Structure 1
């Protein structure tokens, strides 16, 4: 399991306790295993990132080094994914790459291909942008994954030597600094959990407490960019670079849980609450700035400029999972579900060999197909690209899908808790159960008990927050059927083999309206069906139309269409031979028609074609070629005039 706290409200179940058997996530994980891991491996060989280690061992650096200063970290994320995968192919590839890395580690544990050699920058000479500690973080997490999934091996020993080096170099009496990109914190805590060595935890706590005390230089984006503007305990909201902020928050939760620091945990919960309330997209995506990959101000959530980086989605799931384990509160699983289905699942293509880096909610122009053999220099969404010059997202998706079963269920002294729904088998503490469902397409979740201890225990099922305003139903083994509200539904009894519990969730499409403080989407609507956000895509419109022609009728409820689509009623606005007007603004009490094009020319007529409009799950868009797309749809209602007075 990726997170194994020694304290907290809930205990996660590991890969040896949960098996995904079929359904949405089984298909995604199969593609990850059979296509994505090999794709990432091939590309890292092609662009030279794995070759950097061979070049280092052979004394060919810096001349032959390829990629950005943090390229080592993506090799480590791939190794983590391979470690979680149990197949022999992944194990063999892991060993081969590890054999290339091992000779590069120096006697004191230092290991990096971008710094420390003649012609390169000095060790830790650029804590703001060098990413040395960040790279260690991903290496250590890969080593922990190997230890937990396969037993301690060469990679785990390399990671532990690097962690010892970090403690010696940045511990008391050492360099009193932090990395510009948080990540080392979560890794050190997890290594402490895996080994029982508490100095790793102590070093992580030092890094968390040093953050926000001005140890890093002020960058062009401001000190909040890497969360060095104020101490973690004093912050009230997540800000700056979204991935950095979320990784730091996850590390702070880890430290808080292991040290019993309730004040630190409460600070992160407050930051999460404010961020979800004011700075999060409908998809669960985080980060509205392209230039600095950062959170914007409160309610600044433009759909067409949504950055919503895939890595931020992964980091959000990591944070939510930690908060869920610490508190037991289902709201954290709610956001994790939203983000998994609408950000993480949206990144890879159907074949698992191309990816979105950023996840826009409104694509105004049709994308261009990226060259198959060239890495993309840009992260902005157009079409999924096979690789990027900065390719942190494909490997982040790969490691998340590889370990996904460990994010689904937990246990405590009272029983078992189900947080995410897919077909899966669970066996733990004398209990064996099978979950069968067509979720998220359908809403029926059936839990069958095949083995149970002789005493009473509690089965808890999350009732998603998206069911608010509708009715969900729970049927117990004796046939009792009762309505259940969003939150947690519990069944406590002495279960017997053959018992069955059924949860019925109202998976029907619904209109979603935005908070009016989100200026960019005021007056629009979106559609959500269960946990899935839907969108209009131009390939489903009549030839010649783009999504900006769509207007939806809010008085007609969305209905299910074929193959997981949703159909809404609305209009397609068309203009014949449209011409620009001299000025695109007019007084509200002026003429309703735009001015004529000239003394003898009438204004261009605009017509509306009434039609049904097909919406597809957002995670599936752009799999059918170049298209335009939008999630938030204007309505057919005219603008509201101010009251007369």
Structure 2
């Protein structure tokens, strides 16, 4: 029996019209997706080549040549197609649709008669399909193609790509399963599992749901699949090392998923897996699986997550390490990992509406995900540190993964198309409906058509976030309707003020939501005022990197210091514990952002001399006036130092 879950809105029923977010949606539509199309076709000067489209052309017989890129190069095309699908769901674009149709024709032409499609194996290792799942991302790549196909089908109703991925899924189903003549295994990088659930929803074909659950249930069981596969392959490996095979926690294959106690290994794989676990728990009512989701969620957000919503602290293996190990300067915090955390949060929110999940979803979205893309939409961060000393980059190899500026493209280009597909689908994260309750999770202006009890309700939202905490709703109903509007009260807010049709309303609260139960009529208005004080955030005492330091947050935004405003040697700044914070909108900084100004002290270098160390040295300070800017906007003004955490002084 399935878990009763909330319904996610169709993008066709959501129109974002927001002073902050509309510019990002426009940027994705007008700049990011076209730019990424150019990158996929190797038309971005100075950027690493992709050749992803060319691989498909070669596989389709339209060009000659050899495969180029990573084993998962196809997934960049699939994620681009998914972003296009979401954009077309919100606004018609015949020219973009025509480009996508040509890509779909190319994919279908490259697809083998039995449904298999993967340009790496079609071109480079034909006949060795499904022999190296632990390392080579075959099912991962298939999963992204399925997600792209479903999004495009939902946008256009065109079945060509949907039929193609159904043939692919049917082929996978014929290869994998518990039967003696099938492979009893799973991919090293989770993705197919959540994609199959989407395909199940699009087609109603229960086999796809069962196959998704099979892949999850097999993971980590003994005798171990990776060992059996490795032996059959003659103990060869793809990456020049067997760590993906032997270090099973790297891909969360160290134990059956229901027995896993903490967030381990590659961070993107972990949260993709958790998203699929939550999907299957919701569809099947599997309480053991849901409890495992709750346990892994708690491990991430209470012991292994940065204040920015970044996860995965170590560059080696792009992974989690141990509880409370969250260094700022060597942080990995891959953009894709925060996007996966948002996927996980949304699914948990759909199962059990609790503001804890929406708070993390918001934190990751406003800080790490937005920070992963430049304001011009053409440059991207793969890694999102919380402190930068650019002079050390390229000299101290501990920082080899850290880039002082966003890059035009990557050899492993998973993050740029991931950002595009998330922002293009933002409308799916704002509201959910369960029974006769509408939950508002994120405050983003626009209109949403929501069906409650068989009746269509139009919600018109005006939001001043992230700069001010004022939100206003106006409702249009076909006839008077009784339901509950549940408004999230964010963790960063103080006591919220609610007005219903201009009158103060004392709302009951549950699980972090203010509940307004009534018979609604057209023209009803709800105003929500969320206090947005500047908060001094402290880390847990066991967080070694933040002891004696503070970070600033206002509303959903975490702030940072940049050299552009505060000069060099940010490590010498101390924020007095009683220093007053002045928040103001500055139209001349970073295109217009809310800045925070505070008086501070800077450790003086006067009279120090040339000694590296000095006995009984006097510590003297000079006054300093600090300007903090939103973390998401850093590194848009050239190369310079940056710090989120600042030393605090009594």
TM-score after normalising by structure 2: 0.89
1:170-569 counterparts in 2 under 5 A? 170-173=176-179, 174-213=182-221, 214-217=224-227, 219=243, 222-365=247-390, 380-429=402-451, 430-467=456-493, 470-477=494-501, 479-482=503-506, 487-542=512-567, 545-563=568-586, 564-569=594-599
Matches of 1:442 and 1:66, distance apart in 2: 48
Shift of 1:574: 3.3
CA distances 1:350-370 after superposition (whole Å, capped 9, x unpaired): 11010111100000125999x
Q: Is the 8 A contact 2:39 2:409 kept in 1?
A: yes
Q: Is the 8 A contact 2:481 2:521 kept in 1?
A: no
Matches of 2:600 and 2:442, distance apart in 1: 34
Residue 9 of structure 1 pairs with residue 5 of structure 2: yes
Structure 2 unaligned residues grouped into runs of 5+: 43-48, 228-241, 587-593
Local SS of the residue matching 2:202: helix
Matches of 1:525 and 1:146, distance apart in 2: 45
CA distances 1:356-389 after superposition (whole Å, capped 9, x unpaired): 11100000125999xxxxxxx9753321011011
Local SS of the residue matching 1:70: coil
Shift of 1:91: 1.1
CA distances 1:300-348 after superposition (whole Å, capped 9, x unpaired): 0001111110000110000000000011122111100000000111111
Matches of 2:507 and 2:212, distance apart in 1: 45
Partner of 1:572: 602
- The structure-2 alpha-carbon separation of the partners of 1:578 and 1:561, relative to structure 1 and needing over 3 Å to count, comes to farther
Local SS of the residue matching 1:140: helix
Q: Is the 8 A contact 2:66 2:124 kept in 1?
A: no
Q: Is the 8 A contact 1:288 1:302 kept in 2?
A: yes
Shift of 1:254: 1.0
Shift of 1:239: 1.0
Cα RMSD (Å)? 2.2
- The structure-2 alpha-carbon separation of the partners of 1:57 and 1:516, relative to structure 1 and needing over 3 Å to count, comes to same
Residue 102 of structure 1 pairs with residue 127 of structure 2: no
Selected match of 1:35 from 10, 31, 38? 31
Matches of 2:124 and 2:201, distance apart in 1: 37
Matches of 2:299 and 2:171, distance apart in 1: 37
Partner of 1:132: 138
CA distances 1:569-615 after superposition (whole Å, capped 9, x unpaired): 2112231485564658xxxxxx531xxxxxxxxxxx86422122000
Residue 608 of structure 1 pairs with residue 621 of structure 2: yes
Shift of 1:416: 1.6
- The structure-2 alpha-carbon separation of the partners of 1:126 and 1:378, relative to structure 1 and needing over 3 Å to count, comes to farther
Matches of 2:357 and 2:160, distance apart in 1: 36
Matches of 2:125 and 2:340, distance apart in 1: 35
Matches of 1:334 and 1:152, distance apart in 2: 37
Matches of 2:616 and 2:515, distance apart in 1: 58
Matches of 1:151 and 1:425, distance apart in 2: 23
Shift of 1:56: 1.5
Matches of 1:380 and 1:104, distance apart in 2: 37
Matches of 1:420 and 1:553, distance apart in 2: 34
Local SS of the residue matching 1:31: helix
Partner of 1:587: none
Shift of 1:274: 1.9
Local SS of the residue matching 2:481: coil
Selected match of 2:121 from 115, 118, 128? 115
Q: Is the 8 A contact 2:7 2:350 kept in 1?
A: yes
Matches of 1:367 and 1:540, distance apart in 2: 20
Local SS of the residue matching 1:256: helix
Partner of 2:591: none
- The structure-2 alpha-carbon separation of the partners of 1:582 and 1:404, relative to structure 1 and needing over 3 Å to count, comes to closer
Q: Is the 8 A contact 1:9 1:328 kept in 2?
A: no
Deviates more, 1:549-558 or 1:307-316: 549-558
Q: Is the 8 A contact 1:57 1:104 kept in 2?
A: yes
Deviates more, 1:523-532 or 1:475-484: 475-484
Selected match of 1:25 from 8, 21, 30? 21
Matches of 1:14 and 1:513, distance apart in 2: 39
Shift of 1:74: 0.9
- The structure-2 alpha-carbon separation of the partners of 1:606 and 1:330, relative to structure 1 and needing over 3 Å to count, comes to closer
Local SS of the residue matching 1:475: strand
Q: Is the 8 A contact 1:474 1:484 kept in 2?
A: no
Q: Is the 8 A contact 2:338 2:369 kept in 1?
A: yes
Shift of 1:199: 0.6
- The structure-2 alpha-carbon separation of the partners of 1:160 and 1:6, relative to structure 1 and needing over 3 Å to count, comes to farther
Shift of 1:450: 2.8
Q: Is the 8 A contact 2:268 2:340 kept in 1?
A: yes
- The structure-2 alpha-carbon separation of the partners of 1:85 and 1:532, relative to structure 1 and needing over 3 Å to count, comes to same
Matches of 1:152 and 1:58, distance apart in 2: 24
Q: Is the 8 A contact 1:534 1:617 kept in 2?
A: yes
Partner of 1:372: none
Matches of 1:334 and 1:231, distance apart in 2: 29
Matches of 2:339 and 2:479, distance apart in 1: 36
Local SS of the residue matching 2:249: helix
Matches of 2:358 and 2:95, distance apart in 1: 33
Deviates more, 1:148-157 or 1:213-222: 213-222
Aligned length: 604
Structure 1 unaligned residues grouped into runs of 5+: 370-376, 585-590, 594-604, 638-645
Matches of 1:311 and 1:580, distance apart in 2: 45
Selected match of 2:40 from 37, 44, 50? 44
Matches of 2:608 and 2:68, distance apart in 1: 50
- The structure-2 alpha-carbon separation of the partners of 1:636 and 1:271, relative to structure 1 and needing over 3 Å to count, comes to same
Matches of 1:255 and 1:532, distance apart in 2: 33
- The structure-2 alpha-carbon separation of the partners of 1:118 and 1:79, relative to structure 1 and needing over 3 Å to count, comes to closer
Q: Is the 8 A contact 1:424 1:436 kept in 2?
A: yes
Matches of 2:584 and 2:603, distance apart in 1: 22
Shift of 1:238: 1.6
Matches of 2:53 and 2:121, distance apart in 1: 16
- The structure-2 alpha-carbon separation of the partners of 1:88 and 1:367, relative to structure 1 and needing over 3 Å to count, comes to farther
- The structure-2 alpha-carbon separation of the partners of 1:580 and 1:100, relative to structure 1 and needing over 3 Å to count, comes to farther
Q: Is the 8 A contact 1:511 1:558 kept in 2?
A: no
Partner of 2:96: 90
Q: Is the 8 A contact 1:570 1:636 kept in 2?
A: no
Matches of 1:6 and 1:93, distance apart in 2: 39
Deviates more, 1:141-150 or 1:625-634: 141-150
Matches of 1:121 and 1:301, distance apart in 2: 44
Selected match of 2:68 from 66, 70, 80? 66
Q: Is the 8 A contact 1:527 1:533 kept in 2?
A: yes
Residue 78 of structure 1 pairs with residue 74 of structure 2: no
